[in-house]
Structure 1
């Protein structure tokens, strides 16, 4: 189906997880899948986000702003509500608590105020009605997790973690981490606490793994994907490597392990120097890259300064899984604010729009 080394050599692969089965077999509790529509109107999957997908706070806040600023636009329209996300997420996470826990305590674990997504951490904790904690607020005793409170230690059963695997537990992963909790991983392996999403799910974020996803679906489910991937050249394979080298100035080339649009080179708009540097990197480490044709993303009218102009967009819907799967009736529509740009990532200057599901 795909090369073993693609998983075993992945920076997010955790061999310590082998043989471990999380509650209800759920590894990905919150998933955000980036979807694009090409010039022919065909929907395609551009990217998977299975580790710590972000952006849902903007979905809810965009809706609040729209309804306050333009309430007349919604008159007479049945627009699906997005405000239920926090309750749905809290319920889903409670459903995957360790066995035997009837009233689980769920917390959202953040790296702290200096993290770029801290606003979302605060927002979601409030929407979910759960405590927002940092590593220093938690402690592990007898392989169980507790939260420090003004009334003493309180047990914690489910942690919605917004911290990368490496920093979760200095005893198990990076010893210099001050963001995690010593002993957390062992408590997790013993089934005393649930982590969402599961450790190691970052493997599914890898763009090289994405390229094999249609084959994975066919192999395990004996089905064809409902939504096709964007055609992808896998540079670790000789044919894909040569195709990428031959058409470097025509393709979009991406490093497999990066996120947020970092390292992406759009061939038609790249300088000769950028293409030369990319060619050298590609030859030095082909397995670190994939390439794709330039997808002419669909456009949406966008207010830019004092004019309405077309700007390219994509859509990130969010799915939440506990004892069943629920999909947010809306999603994060990301918009490339620079004229002609195809990069919608907020870290690269992109914006977002309110997205309505009407019925």
Structure 2
């Protein structure tokens, strides 16, 4: 361990600000010295000002702990800075990846060429709860199923970006990316001086364009709405923020209905209005109680038939979650080669799929060295971190794997990169990841950076806000 003022550097991790020799990385000197030279009381004051701004601006998220709890969004004021020269490859890799994933989903619900070449994957996919047989034979506009994707990236001990997972169903977090920048500009505008930081405020207009591109109608002006389960949903702040920024209506299920001609209509005080595109923030199996969950209280009866008949576009398309599976993730490099005839531009984490007997045996014999994940969980839940687990927890998890190997994958414990983070009035390293957002319409758009999530607890790698994680403003600089 090297000590440099208030920052401790663990040489086994890649620190994004400091080298293993303790020197400040070239592009980050100004930002680092700005915070390093502040008096502890001033650091506390700036952090408090950011928290006040977040409270005043109403930036919240919800937790479910014996009831619904509104929490102020956690933002660390030391920015994460990435040079554009390093970001170019990431952006190209993400565009390549989402192209292949969309082609894969379309293939799953149609010809199944890729599945026929990979019989184990075929069994995994067709047995998955994310596979919706009702979607067979359907092609969304331009064969794009996941128009909006949030891909989680990490940096390994060498600083190399790796894909950790793809969120293809209802990815969230982009509103917090936008608001992090607004808070930083409001509280510490001087920190931007001397940096050429890529703007991110074009995201709402890019999202609107993406949604418009998904419409089946040829009308020049499309009627687009954002469908939310309601104000008690954990991501409602984001729903209302995005709808407002795009200038579209935010609707709840009772605001929409399907006519006898299979058009989707919105109830208004001036009579029903035809809807062309629905940006859904409702899980697909709840969206239509006739087609899927009959007990759904947040569905619109008949909307599946309207979508199937191309009377309305639903973004992301129902069934897109079939590729949002940690077991399917292991096959993405093969998908890129099969569908695009290209080599993957961006690497991903080595993944052992327990549905394979060889992989399962390896995982059971090496579980104390691996991270084990249930394939359909999210938010960091259900994960076993082998090197930190007790012998009793390992035994229990081994039995879970034996009982249902298809439900688990394993990965080596990647040494996530760290970045200086304000803990009290001190700068200390904390682990982080990054979620860029990828929009697929007539063109593919990747956000400049994304939402950086930080594990605020020392030595923790759990970055999810629902489990005590924080966030940072992410800068792509020239």
The TM-score normalised by the length of structure 1 is 0.98
Match of 2:331 among 209, 212, 216: 212
RMSD between aligned alpha carbons?
A: 1.0
Unaligned runs of 5+ in 2: 1-116
Distance of 1:305 and 1:118 partners within structure 2: 30
**Map of 1:76 onto structure 2:** 194
**Map of 1:296 onto structure 2:** 415
SS in 2 for 1:290: strand
**Map of 1:99 onto structure 2:** 217
Deviation at 1:347, TM superposition (A): 2.0
Match of 2:364 among 245, 262, 265: 245
**Map of 1:14 onto structure 2:** 132
**Map of 2:289 onto structure 1:** 170
Distance of 2:161 and 2:211 partners within structure 1: 30
Q: Does 1:284 align with 2:403?
A: yes
**Map of 1:25 onto structure 2:** 143
Contact 2:217 2:276 in 1 (8 A): no
Deviation at 1:334, TM superposition (A): 0.8
Deviation at 1:273, TM superposition (A): 2.3
Distance of 2:389 and 2:255 partners within structure 1: 47
**Map of 1:146 onto structure 2:** 265
Deviation at 1:357, TM superposition (A): 1.2
Cα deviations across residues 147-202 of structure 1 (Å, max 9, x unaligned)?
11111111110000011111000111111111010110000000010010111111
SS in 1 for 2:475: coil
Deviation at 1:34, TM superposition (A): 0.7
Greater than 6 Å deviation, 4+ residue runs: none
**Map of 1:67 onto structure 2:** 185
**Map of 1:344 onto structure 2:** 463
Task: Give runs of aligned pairs for residues 255-266 of structure 1, distance below 5 A.
Answer: 255-266=374-385
Deviation at 1:330, TM superposition (A): 2.1
Distance of 2:324 and 2:393 partners within structure 1: 25
Q: Does 1:311 align with 2:434?
A: no
Q: Does 1:270 align with 2:389?
A: yes
Q: Does 1:160 align with 2:279?
A: yes
Answer with 1 or 2: which has the greater Rg.
2
Deviation at 1:101, TM superposition (A): 2.3
Task: Give runs of aligned pairs for residues 108-147 of structure 1, distance below 5 A.
Answer: 108-141=226-259, 142-147=261-266
Distance of 1:23 and 1:211 partners within structure 2: 27
Match of 1:231 among 340, 345, 350: 350
SS in 2 for 1:51: coil
**Map of 2:447 onto structure 1:** 328
Distance of 2:361 and 2:268 partners within structure 1: 59
**Map of 1:180 onto structure 2:** 299
SS in 2 for 1:34: strand
Unaligned runs of 5+ in 1: none
Distance of 1:314 and 1:273 partners within structure 2: 29
Distance of 2:234 and 2:159 partners within structure 1: 34
Distance of 1:153 and 1:194 partners within structure 2: 18
